Each structure stands twice: as C-alpha cells, then as structure tokens.
Amino acid sequence: MELSEEDLGLINALQIAPRISWSDASGVLGVHATTLAARWERLRSAGAAWTTAHLIGDPKQMCLALVDIDCDMRLRADVTAALAAIPEVVTVEEAASNRDLILTVITPTLAEFTDAVVPQFKEIEGLQKYRTSLCTRLHTGGHAWRLNILDRSQQAALKAFAGPEAGVAGIPAVGELPQSHLDLIPFLAQDGRATAADMARVLGRSPATVQRQLNRLLASRVLSFRCEVAQKFSGYPVTCQWSANVPPGQHEAAAAELRGFRNLRLSASTTGRSNFVIVMWLHSLSDVMNAELALQQRIPGIELVESVVVLSSAKRVGWMLNPDTTASGAVVVPVAELNPTA
C-alpha cells in the first residue's frame, strides 16, 4: 500500500483536529465529505492511520514513567507480549543498546505505578531487571507531531476546529470526573473519533446524556487525542531516544528550542542519571549524528549522555502494531478509573 498526497493531507488534518466533522474538514480540504470519510475508512482498515485518546501523562496531573527493561533473550517475545498486555504500559519498544525494551507507563498517581504496575513486572518470567525514570515535566508529546503536508492557511483553519479536545500539556483537570464520564475513555482509546451516539448505544444511555458527559470529559483535558500514522509511511522510519543533562534553570528554554525540530516526538524533564529525554523520528541512521550536532549547537550546556535507536515497536499509545509499523487493530483498553472514590 502506498499513501497519496491526499491521504497524507487527510492524516495531517486529523493530527491537528482529530475529532473534526467530515463536513468541516471538507470545507478546509476542498474534498467532499463522503470522499473524506471513505478515504479515512480505507486508511484505518489498512492500519496505515488511526485516531486514539489516552491519559495525557502530564506530571502536573498524573504519573508518567519511562522504564528500561532487561530480559532473558530467549524469552524476549514472551516478555514483550506480557508487558504490552498491561493497560498502563502504553508504549513498548525494542531497543538497540544497553537495555532490551523501553516502556512508557502512565498511571493516575505515583502510588498506583508503585503498587499496581511494578508488582506485575516482577511476575513476568524472563524479565530480569527494570530501571525507572519519572517525568517531572512533559514539554512536548507525540500528539503534537505533524506531517506538515497542508499549507499554513489550512492548518490555521483546522486549529480553529480543534477545540478543547486537542491535548495540551499543562492544563489542569476541571475537578474530579465521576465514573460515568470515565466509562467513555475505553471507547475513545479504540476510536478517537467515537461519537456520543456510538457510545450511548453500547452503554445503554441516552445520546444527550453521553454527549454532556463527553463534553465535560473533553473539557477536563485529562486526555490527549491524536491521529497516528504507521511510521513507515511517515517519511521518518528511524526512532532515536537521547538521555541528556540540561542545566536545571534552562529546561524551559531547551524545550522551546526543541519545538523548532519538526521531527520531535517527545521532550521531557526526568529523574535519574540524566534529567532530560528527547525522542525524534529521523529519515535515516545517518541523521542521528546530524541531530546530535544540531542539539549541541542550539541548546547551550546540553550534555548528551546516551543515544538509543529503536529496533521495533510492539505497542504505541495502547495500539498493538504489526512488524511493519501498521496498526494490528488490537487495542489494550485502559482501566477507566482515575479517582476510585468517585
């Protein structure tokens, strides 16, 4: 399967406004709404692109942990499958050096990571060791990455339609959400464009009630919505993660400079032997050195401690991936419970 410029343009549009209506998207892209809907269904069915929602992982609201895993090489496939089956482990990647697997874990609290997730690691046969870095500030997440196919006027028009559902780190939740609202999260994890009517039919609630609950959930900003694309179609087939040290008073300035890198997927301040992590998608392995040179030129005082190239991704923000980076269609649905007392 090859993606056309029109396909990439549609994905770009949904990256900016994941829940835009086809009629509104039609006005921006100049393509009939039914054509857009059919094109999207083709892309989604092929696993080339998909929309999803997940807990945003902002440390101001919840716990985001980056975990390195060492395992018995003979049991790596089994360990990978067992880790991917844990809902809170949202991303599982195979690394090329100094660790076997890299995990991204999101939980409502640090205590839940410690009490509910870590004990599961200890029960997995073949998992030999884990090391955890905790995110203290999420500067940029994968939801902000763009293909940049559309022109500036189209992008600006789409941003106007994005509304409060576009995940933005650092905005606090509006109070505690009742369980009836949290019940909607698994639907949105499986399809970031799921409608109130879709969810109402399954939950046995009235569409008006679910729409009201959905509106409050979206406004709370606890969720990050994104349109993902199979990495092989992105033009950036190589993933590299850097551990770095940045002078403590310069993290915000470094994050601002990093936003100028169009292939940036993640930047965050962390605990551990280093205090900053950067993830980029790159054109080729030769671009690793180019990126490192650019980082050192543009961020004063940065010390690049280690670079790790990702060999393969088994799971990305809840979605299980095929070896060719397309979505398998299987989604490990998160436990929709942020505040058990609600």
The pLDDT tens digits for 319-329 are: 999 999 999 99
Give the C-alpha distances (Å, rounded to integers) separating 149 from 85, 102, 140, 186, 232: 34, 30, 20, 30, 16
Measured CA to CA, the distance from residue 138 to residue 41 in angstroms comes to: 32
Measured CA to CA, the distance from residue 121 to residue 43 in angstroms comes to: 35
Residues in Cβ contact with 57 at an 8 Å cutoff, skipping those fewer than 6 apart: 63, 64, 104, 106, 135, 138, 141, 224
DSSP state for residue 143 in the 8-state scheme: G
Give the C-alpha distances (Å, rounded to integers) separating 19 from 158, 231, 334: 11, 21, 20
Q: What is the mean pLDDT of residues 105-133?
A: 96
What average pLDDT does the structure give for the chain?
92
Measured CA to CA, the distance from residue 289 to residue 242 in angstroms comes to: 12
Tell me the backbone φ, ψ of residue 2, rounded to 5 degrees. -115, 145
Residues in Cβ contact with 181 at an 8 Å cutoff, skipping those fewer than 6 apart: 213, 216, 217, 220
**What confidence category does residue 26 fall into, taking pLDDT thresholds of 50, 70 and 90?**
very high
Give yes or no for residue 175 having a pLDDT over 90: no
Q: Are 278 and 258 in contact (CB under 8 A)?
A: yes
Structure tokens at 286: 């030769």
| Percent of the chain with pLDDT strictly greater than 90 | 85
Longest distance between any two alpha carbons in the chain, whole Å: 57
- CA 281, distance to chain mean position in Å, is 13
Q: What is the pLDDT of residue 222?
A: 83
Q: What is the pLDDT of residue 27?
A: 97
pLDDT digits 0-9 by tens, 268-321: 999 999 999 999 999 999 999 999 999 999 999 999 999 999 999 999 999 999
